[in-house]
Amino acid sequence: MRLPNLIYWFATSLLSILLLFGASMHLFNNADVVIAYSELGYPAYLIFPMAIAKILAVVAIVSSKSQFLKNLAYAGVFYNLLLAFISHLAISDGAGFLSFAGLVLLGVSYLFHRIIKPKHKLAFDVG
């Protein structure tokens, strides 16, 4: 296995573990997540849709069925992690480290995905 493939799969695996851990916390440790969301200023009704979105993002990023969905998942996870990092910084609770680590893993995963397969066409490209 080439080094770029190894780096891609390492970063993508760690990112997937981080997202699935977050989704499992949303689904199975709901009381603590409700408290955390209220401290961050987010409504509790976002918890279950975020868990489902994280699981679907992992499926889209790991599988290579649709390049459009993979790029959409990368974008969605980027905004999720960026807003989580900013939210934790705003209240100074010191919990923004996992969001920052997720952003780094996401960047490495995306960069090495583009290195491995640089000539992908987007779903709406013609010709």
Tens of pLDDT, residue by residue over 64-83, are 788 999 999 999 999 999 99
Q: Is the pLDDT of residue 57 over 90?
A: yes
Q: Model's pTM, two decimal places?
A: 0.86
Which residues span the domain enclosing 92?
A: 3-116
Name the band, by pLDDT with cuts 50, 70 and 90, for residue 95: confident
φ, ψ of residue 7 in degrees (nearest 5):
-65, -40
Q: For residue 123, tell me if it sits in a domain.
A: no
Q: For residue 60, tell me if it sits in a domain.
A: yes
Give the pLDDT of residue 44.
92
CA distances from residue 43 to 37, 38, 46, 47, 101 in whole angstroms, order as listed: 7, 6, 6, 8, 25
Nearest residue to 77 via CA among 109, 46, 47: 109
Contact between residue 89 and residue 96 where contact means Cβ atoms under 8 Å apart: yes
Nearest residue to 76 via CA among 91, 96, 54, 45: 54
Q: For residue 109, tell me if it sits in a domain.
A: yes
Q: Is the pLDDT of residue 123 over 80?
A: no
